[in-house]
Structure 1
């Protein structure tokens, strides 16, 4: 699915709830140069503030080690009310639906959210870091 189509999902008739947690370190890692970094962070601020079903959290760098450093994942609640996990690495992506594994990832997700800043503070941090990319 092209990027524009993925983004349009957030503004569609029935947008999903999207809760995202970013590690503060990714806000400071130069990818694409300063202008790209600034625009990307400003875009995240806009999405987080313009879409009521989008919540963005940042785990501050002061937290140290926490379950999120183990790698990215998607925990999705399906319309059938089942949860699945999507894991992606350099070789392939895989969907996990085994109950015990999903519950383990859910526990990690809850621990990660517990370390993250609330949405308003996260957006303030994103805005502040965006201004440093000049």
Structure 2
């Protein structure tokens, strides 16, 4: 297993060995475990509580807004780190600074809007 494809062949062999160990463990577990299904064991449950009512439940829109705000802050962080590395490079000083303040202004407007709508209060 030398040459260009030798390292790829080694990765494939190790992957296959890992898959064989994983599949073998599942197979041995299936052969050794007891299998006595009853209607009570096959019932859907959550946290040990029997299900009551329908399976569909409505959730509050507030949780979706929290998710959206998290995405906004994550995107903000994704753009801030590369900006910090490019800022010191020659030719990017003032232009990059202005662009980043415009970007942060949009982020600040989003935070201000969320604050005015009382979304940021955790109740």
Shorter-chain TM-score: what band? under 0.3
- Pick the structure with more strand per residue: 1
Decide which structure has the larger Cα Rg and report it: 2
Greater relative contact order (Cα < 8 A, sep 6+) = 1
